[in-house]
Structure 1
Amino acid sequence: MIMDCCEASRLLVPSRRALLLGGASFAAWAYLPKFARAAEGRDPRLVVIILRGALDGLATVAPVGDPDYAGLHGAIALSTDGPHAATALDGFFALHPAMPEFARMYRDKHAAVIHAVATPYRDRSHFDGQDVLESGFAGPGRVQSGWLNRALEALPRGERVKSALAVGPTTPLVLRGAAPTVGWAPVALPQADDDTAMRLVALYQHRDVALASALSQGLQLEKAALGDDMKPKSGANGAAAMRQVARGAAKLMAADDGPRIGALAFDGWDTHANEGGPVGRLAQLLGGLDGALAEFENGLGERWRDTVVVVATEFGRTARINGTEGTDHGTGTIALLAGGAVQGGRVISDWPSLKPARLYDGRDLAPTTDLRAVLKGVLADHLGLGERVLAERVFPGSATAKPMKALIA
């Protein structure tokens, strides 16, 4: 998704008070307000992970109990038998074998699946689909702000966090807007050594005290996020990169004065060819996502019990395999929830069946759940936003998509 570089990262101080030092991005962490604990003693965290490229929900959480599934998905269909057996979730759905950590969370009732879900978007353009997913509007091209940023604006003053962590080289659209965000991106360029960094701090102490303070705070932020185990490694694959990003974000969000809300995006989910079924390209991607969820769990530590991670994508993929053993752009897909605050151990679905007459446009899993209802349910029960605010400010024009109940424990 194309983003205006001028709006890629909003800080709580003027933009000149942040630098890029040897490729490391940082911000004036000391300026961020602390999160006030809720009256019931909870200190909730929310992480939104966007999968860009359109996830094959039928290959990730397979409806193995649907008699039409195996024939439609052909060589890439999952099965609960054989050497690469999918993990049975209930008597109807099974999870891709590349996601053992999510399977464990599901067994522990800290993960859930919402199936046959979609945004209101019904065409098949990645650009427009991602715009709708992240903006929260019913159609593309409406605004240059995202639903998560507007949710931040709507949080009660003094009761909820008023800033969020945007992970990546640019702020995802979902977090762009008037509410402040702080950006962090794992770096692949060589870092300036400590001596050089301290010389810069000393120089600015005499010329711009505020900038020196911002630089010092930024260096501390970078050190906290990276540590020795986060230094870039040559030859790191996509799965390892997902874990690395999640590990750093979790360290920042676990801090007492760190951000409580974060958003990040993983690219590369456009599996037109060689999707691979239980092994192959999609398996590698899902393994990286699975590892990222485990990194959030490990890195957040005791904070995990008050955490919800939402995983969403712009649309699904075709029910029928194509000629290159992949799937094309579709409609219905899945959303995943993970975290100690999730009321899990469930696949939530009004299943439409995969009979040819029931496929959307004769080719796709028909969506039966509005993704906005899922997101509203999380924002309402996890962060305390009211239904009217959600319908009018966070997801404008969405009054018919009622917040899904009982997603949060």
Structure 2
Amino acid sequence: MSFSRRSFLTLGGAAGALAAFPTFAWGAQTGPEARKLAVVILRGGLDGLQAVPAIGDPNWTAARKALAEPLPQIGDYLPINETFALDARLANLAALFKSGEALAVHATCSPYQRRSHFDGQNVLESGGVEPFGLNDGWINRALAAKWPQAERPLGIGIAPQIPLALRGPGNVTSWAPSRLPAPDEDFLRRLGNLYAATDRDLAAALKMAEEANDIAAGMDGMEGGGGGRRFEPLARAAAQFLTDPKGPQAAVLELSGFDSHTAQMTPAAGLGRSMRELDAGLAAFKDGMGAQWANTLVLVVTEFGRTVAPNGSGGTDHGTGGVAFVLGGAVKGGRVLADWPGLAPANLLDGRDLRPTTDLRSVLKGALAAHWALSPEALDRVVFPDSAKAAPMMGLLKA
């Protein structure tokens, strides 16, 4: 299915939306710029014990109660080792574990531990310590630290607007398919002529949007006139941007539907759909990256975990410790990394949550240090301010 040149220009529904692309002028890439980063933000708070169940913990059944065993229509857990497994709805991810291209970090959490979505997502994306303490994001600061003189957009948010994690001093932009009907070619031609005669900035923005559309050309499932928000085609779009010779260094994707307060084990429930979308999207992203997958790092993160025991509605409530995933061709995978706190009642945080034992910033710092060779000083002071006590997690990537 072709993605028409004009359909990209409908993303904002009006000519003014093109201002979102004020500097979309790609430059050539060489050397370290071959190393790409994709960050997937799971909004709502993924239940880490649902995605990566600790079936070998002696207190697993007592702690999880009705959530301890999957329903027959979902399928058995997919073992990783004697202690941990994957939910059956993450079969593609399980294949990456088997091939050594994915790992999980369990019982992890950002510095924020007060269970608010808004505050938790803000800390997750800003890389700070307290909610709304920073106005920009850790991915932007990492890009600016690595490529301080770059003129081209270094990052792209596959979203209607730039996610907080990408905002900041570094040159970034966003892209999303439109749900609106595409304007016809004659309108775009006349619009281009008007801008050329009256407003050089808008004329340049129009040209830059068309350049971005050239990169986006050919994306299945997102043709103009209907748009789309399914995760799989968005993941393919991210891969297409990252693999283009003139494309960005980093992409940020978002997936919602993880706030599983009710009917968590029901196959048709929101959590099940979202996990299947995530699984399909990760597989599509790897496929889209092709040979570049060997130089690509994927980080999958969420704002917090959920309660260990189910609530009265068959779901779980906002918690603390959760899980993060690290994927890529260079990842030293097939493992679950955890200073496992255990699920005995006395070991739970506040008597209800998986106790976090690993600062998520340690995971992110370790990944950035290995992938982009960012210095300890840059990581401690710039990318994650006031994080010196969160030492980078070593050994995430192959030597």
- TM-score if structure 1 supplies the norm length? 0.87
Shift of 1:335: 0.2
Q: Name the residue aligned to 1:65.
A: 56
Structure 2 portions without partners, runs of 5+: 1-10
Q: Deviations over 1:140-198 (max 9, x none)?
A: 12111111111122115469986211121121111111111111012111111233223
Correspondence for 1:170: 161
Which residue is 2:345 aligned to?
356
Match of 1:297 among 281, 286, 289: 286
- Percent identity reads 40
Aligned length: 387
Structure 2 length-normalised TM: 0.89
Secondary structure of the equivalent of 2:89?
A: coil
Report the counterpart of residue 259 of structure 2 in structure 1.
270
Cα deviation per residue 1:378-401 (whole Å; 9 max; x = unaligned)?
A: 110101101121111111111111
Give the direction of change, closer, same or farther, for the CA distance of 1:396–1:380 in structure 2 (3 Å limit). Answer: same
Q: How far apart, in 2, do the equivalents of 1:85 and 1:288 lie?
A: 19
In the TM superposition, what whole-angstrom CA distance separates every residue of 1:52-103 from its partner, at most 9, and x where no partner exists?
1111000000000012122222222245999710111111111011111111
Alpha-carbon shift at residue 285 of structure 1 (Å): 0.7
- Residue 253 to residue 186, structure 1, CA distance change in 2 (3 Å): same
Query: Are positions 1:225 and 2:216 aligned together?
Result: yes
Pick closer, same or farther for the CA change 1:97–1:208 going to 2, 3 Å.
same
- Partner of residue 131 from structure 2, selected from 118, 123, 140: 140
User: Residue 246 of structure 2 corresponds to which residue in structure 1?
Assistant: 257
Q: Deviations over 1:304-338 (max 9, x none)?
A: 11011101011100000111000001110000111
Give the counterpart letter for 1:227 in structure 2: G
Q: Which moved more, 1:151-160 or 1:105-114?
A: 151-160
- State the distance in 2 between where 1:177 and 1:200 align: 31
Counterpart Cα distance in 2 of 1:404 and 1:160: 31
Residue equivalent to 2:40: 49
Counterpart in the other structure of 1:244: 233
Separation (CA, whole Å) in 1 of partners of 2:288 and 2:322: 29
Equivalent residues of 1:24, 1:185 under 8 A apart: no
SS of the residue 2:235 aligns to: helix
Greater shift after overlay, 275-284 or 398-407? 275-284
What amino acid does structure 1 have at the position aligned with 2:291?
Answer: E
Distance (Å, rounded) in 2 between the aligned partners of 1:194 and 1:92: 58
Q: Which amino acid aligns with 1:217?
A: M
Does the CA-based 8 Å contact 1:110-1:338 persist in structure 2?
Answer: yes
- Determine the C-alpha separation between the residues in 2 that align with 1:83 and 1:201: 52
Equivalence for 1:343: 332
Give me the whole-angstrom Cα distance separating, in 2, the residues matched to 1:337 and 1:302: 18
Bigger mean CA offset, 158-167 vs 42-51:
158-167
CA distance in structure 2 between the aligned counterparts of 1:264 and 1:395, rounded to whole angstroms: 20
Aligned to 2:181: 190
Q: Note the aligned Cα RMSD (angstroms).
A: 2.7
Read off the aligned partner of 1:215 and give its amino acid letter.
Answer: L
